[in-house]
Structure 1
Amino acid sequence: MNKISIKLGLLFFAFILILEIILFSFLYTGLVDSRIDEELAELKARGESHRHVLEKSFDKTTIEHVALMETEADTDVVIMTHKGKVLAKSNELTSPMKRLMKHERGSVPFEGMIVEKRWATESYISTVSPIVIDDRLIGHVYMFKSTNSIQTMVYKLKQHFILVGSLTIILTVITVFFLSKVITLPLIRMKQATKALSKGDFTVVVSHRSKDELGELAESIQTLANDLNHLKKERNEFLASISHELRTPLTYVKGYADIAKRKGVSDEERNNYLQIIYEEAEHLSGLVKDLFDLAKVDQHSFVIQKEKVSLCEFTNKIAEKVRPAFMKKGIELFHSCPDGLFAMIDRPRLEQVMINLLDNSLKYSNRNSKVRLQVEHDQTKNKIELSVIDEGIGIPKEEIPFIFNRLYRVEKSRSRESGGSGLGLSIVKEIVEAHGGQINIVSELGKGTKVTIELEGCK
């Protein structure tokens, strides 16, 4: 059994046992007191009955008849004068009886009284009733009952309570055992799951159908496990992708450097090799810069310094900067922006975003196609939308949800012709969200892609 089951079971058992002892004690005491009160009331009522008979006919025959009636009963009667002379008795008097009969005969109330009720320590319980004829005290009727029968009755009652109490404790132990197992089983499973998580096993499954706090905790642990498993896969894919991205340019640099330093290589060939080495070094530099940006994002040190910027001026400069590259590939770049639009942005960071999006459109668009860089204003929501729309190859619908993942590329072969490391769009998303904005992609395979950045406008 697990420690938590033992602790919880002992706690429940101790609480229930204390509660049962208190309840059984009250019940036992109440029943005993009630039964003794009944015995005393019955004894007193019997004495009162005899008193009434004697008050009607206080003669020798009646007195002897009353005494005779008690000879076969489990009670004893003693009839005596008010001066203490015994007129009749049902059995021989014992010392305890004689002692009790000396008890305040002159102060007995008319309705009678209990002389002795200490059943646990005395030999008899006793009552006395006065015999009053014509408003004159004639004598007393003493009633006695041996406490042996009462003690026997109390003993049997105690035995019953012990038996019932023992059965109750046994049932309590069994109930507490099963309840503690039922309650702690989900906790034990969660403990095992978290232990597996701490050892790096993120494939654990925590099943709990209840809708209470335990169910919510199990669901949270399962969510954590799923997230960690996803992060583990992403990390492995990320490391594999980074290794691939770094290995390829390094291979080119090493290979062409070996060729360039050989004897007999012409200056023209050597310059060509050096140009390839330079391009690969640039590629490595860009990749390292992207990785550095992502590292700053993860460490929350990615600082955005906003300023009020005219979006038309901002986007126009970007369009003019990239236009030569579009013209070289035979792609028309259109720019449209209504006057008077301003936004609080980090100019260098958002410029990095727009150039990245335009560069993607350039890479994945064919000659004689069109690319539009447009700015629109939604006055009802006071939102500004910066869009890059191309007529390129498009993105498969099933790939769009993953397009912003790090090192994710729709083109799986990572060919040098298609370029890119797969880090650009993830950085773009981080920069846009750091501005408090959103980025959305709508694309259709073979027809083109529209990337829209939504930002808060300002006056």
Structure 2
Amino acid sequence: MLTSVFRKQLLSLLCVLLVGFTLIALVLNFALQDFLVKQKEALLFREGEQLNELLLEGLSADPSNQKTIYNNADSRLKRTLNIRTNLLLIDESAGVNKKRLEKRLLKQSEIKDPALLSQVLKGGRVTQIGPFTYSDDTVLLSVGMPVIEKDKVIGALFLHTPVQEIQMGKVTRLIIFTAYLIAIPFSLLVFVLSKRMTGPLLRMNRAAKRLGNGDFTVRVPVESRDEVSQLADTFNQMAEQLEQLDRMRKELIANVSHELRTPLTSVRGFAQGLMEGVIPEEQHHRYHQIIYAELFRLTSLLNTMLDLSAIETGRVNMEMKAIRWSSLVHTVSESLAPRIEKKELDVEIVEPEDEILKAYGDPERLKQVLFNLLDNAIRHSESGGKITIQSYYEQDSLVVKVSDTGSGIDPSKLPYIWERFYTEDDSRHTHRERSGLGLTITKQLLELMKGSIEVDSVLEKGTTFTIRIPTPPET
């Protein structure tokens, strides 16, 4: 059974090769047979013309020599070229002693195809392959020509040779033998080419099995730029993406486990202390508050993860509408006022005085976006620092820049701040309430609303996040 691409391809190519060489052999066989028949036909006509001339010369010189001349010529043709002759004379023949040639003459009734004789007696030449007379079933190549004396047709001369004398069978066998002799090296070449073409597919098959078993480091060598190699290149890209996803999955599990373990450990420790009476009664209220805060942080983390999951699976419904951006900015700023005052930060809101700014998006999601950016700026600003929220129109978008005077981000780590659970601990002080999901959610929410976000940061000088939000269609 054909269980591999290699076998199927090899058999297909060999079948095409076999059919091709067979067709070539048949065409050559027919062409050569036609050539040999025409060569033999020309020979018969040539010998017939010479015999005709001898017969006519005998008639004009000495009619008594007709029989001798015809017999000698006929014997020569039969002996040397295996050519037989027949002569038919009509009644009006002049100068021909039919009695002397009676044994050599052919009767009209003996001819199997009377149309041949009719055409010759009209002065034409004919050629036929097949039995010529009723008494002989031998397949012959026959030619006929008129015997003309003084511009008058007095008879018909026919010359015959067996078709087997043309050796068509030998020609056919020779052609077929030569064709299949040539087919042998071609078959070997087809085998090598098939092996070379299916080799990458076999390697990809083995690599796919390893990939299915969890080995995402496997790669397939790309040796050329044909379609199979392009497939191998695509396979390598897929393997690379799977390896990256597997790495992210492992990091996600590790990060989630870490983020969940910390508050759970605190809650368990404090709860155990309260149950066992280790914590004095006068401090119970304080530790209850700590337990509540940890549970609140845990709930917040789980809600954030659920939000991210909903966004990535397309389960977030966006209620797009036109909103006054200034009102949204002041609402979010006021919700963070206690934290801003605690750090003694200066918050400056910069907007055009003569223009009402509007944005087009989901109001609650835009609040979430701005809240995440301001929360990020507050967390990473030192006491007494400054946060600026600048908004303005640029072409068909509302541009909002949220800047802080914090510690900044290392330029080499800027591409990674959008990844899940990335907290960039080296350059910024880690806050115990951080989940590393805020910027990831912010970016994805903006993209769902046809917006975008960029970041620019300088170490020890601050960071600026720039978001672009579509404006209402009527604006």
Task: Report the TM-score, using the length of structure 1 for normalisation.
Answer: 0.87
CA distance in 1, matches of 2:385, 2:452: 27
2:15 aligned with 1:14: yes
Match of 1:383 in 2: 397
2:306 aligned with 1:269: no
Q: The residue matched to 2:409 in structure 1 has which SS?
A: coil
The structural deviation recorded for 1:383 is 1.2
Extract unaligned runs of 5+ from structure 2.
Answer: 91-97
What code does the residue aligned with 2:254 have? A
What code does the residue aligned with 1:291 have? M
What code does the residue aligned with 2:265 have? T
Residue 459 of structure 2, aligned match among 417, 422, 445: 445
Q: The residue matched to 1:366 in structure 2 has which SS?
A: coil
CA distance in 1, matches of 2:234, 2:342: 54
- Count matched residues: 449
Extract unaligned runs of 5+ from structure 1.
Answer: none
CA distance in 2, matches of 1:296, 1:61: 119
Match of 1:113 in 2: 126
Match of 2:5 in 1: 4
> Superposed, which structure 2 residues align to 1:23-102 within 5 Å?
23-58=24-59, 59=62, 60=64, 64=68, 67-68=71-72, 71=76, 73-76=80-83, 78=85, 82=89, 85=99, 87=101, 102=110
Match of 2:274 in 1: 260
Q: Is the 8 A contact 1:67 1:78 kept in 2?
A: no
CA distance in 2, matches of 1:409, 1:86: 128
> Superposed, which structure 2 residues align to 1:150-299 within 5 Å?
150=166, 153-263=167-277, 265-299=279-313
2:144 aligned with 1:143: no
CA distance in 2, matches of 1:304, 1:47: 102
**Cα–Cα, structure 1 residues 436 and 147, in superposed 2: closer, same or farther, change >3 Å?**
closer
2:369 aligned with 1:353: yes
Residue 143 of structure 2, aligned match among 121, 127, 139: 127
User: Structure 1, residues 12-41: CA drift from partner, whole Å, max 9, x if none?
Assistant: 322332333233222212211321232122
**Cα–Cα, structure 1 residues 278 and 85, in superposed 2: closer, same or farther, change >3 Å?**
farther
User: Structure 1, residues 100-138: CA drift from partner, whole Å, max 9, x if none?
Assistant: 99436964333443465569x726544344332224555
The structural deviation recorded for 1:2 is 5.8
User: Structure 1, residues 225-259: CA drift from partner, whole Å, max 9, x if none?
Assistant: 11111111000000000001111111111112222
User: Structure 1, residues 18-77: CA drift from partner, whole Å, max 9, x if none?
Assistant: 333233222212211321232122112210122134324423557645654552622446
2:370 aligned with 1:369: no
CA distance in 1, matches of 2:347, 2:408: 17
What code does the residue aligned with 2:239 have? A
Q: Is the 8 A contact 1:388 1:450 kept in 2?
A: yes
CA distance in 1, matches of 2:170, 2:456: 88
Q: Is the 8 A contact 1:63 1:79 kept in 2?
A: no
Q: The residue matched to 1:270 in structure 2 has which SS?
A: helix
**Cα–Cα, structure 1 residues 142 and 360, in superposed 2: closer, same or farther, change >3 Å?**
closer
Task: Report the TM-score, using the length of structure 2 for normalisation.
Answer: 0.84
Q: The residue matched to 1:73 in structure 2 has which SS?
A: helix
Q: The residue matched to 1:324 in structure 2 has which SS?
A: helix
The structural deviation recorded for 1:453 is 1.0
CA distance in 2, matches of 1:277, 1:345: 37
Q: Is the 8 A contact 1:44 1:114 kept in 2?
A: no
**Cα–Cα, structure 1 residues 382 and 416, in superposed 2: closer, same or farther, change >3 Å?**
closer
Residue 342 of structure 2, aligned match among 322, 328, 336: 328
Range with greater deviation from structure 2 (416-425 or 53-62): 53-62
**Cα–Cα, structure 1 residues 318 and 135, in superposed 2: closer, same or farther, change >3 Å?**
closer
Q: Is the 8 A contact 2:401 2:465 kept in 1?
A: yes
What code does the residue aligned with 1:296 have? A
The structural deviation recorded for 1:433 is 1.3
CA distance in 2, matches of 1:369, 1:127: 119
The structural deviation recorded for 1:141 is 4.2
CA distance in 2, matches of 1:80, 1:214: 74
Alignment RMSD? 3.1
CA distance in 1, matches of 2:49, 2:324: 114
Q: The residue matched to 2:336 in structure 1 has which SS?
A: helix
**Cα–Cα, structure 1 residues 142 and 453, in superposed 2: closer, same or farther, change >3 Å?**
closer
What code does the residue aligned with 1:411 have? D
Q: The residue matched to 1:318 in structure 2 has which SS?
A: helix
Q: The residue matched to 1:373 in structure 2 has which SS?
A: strand
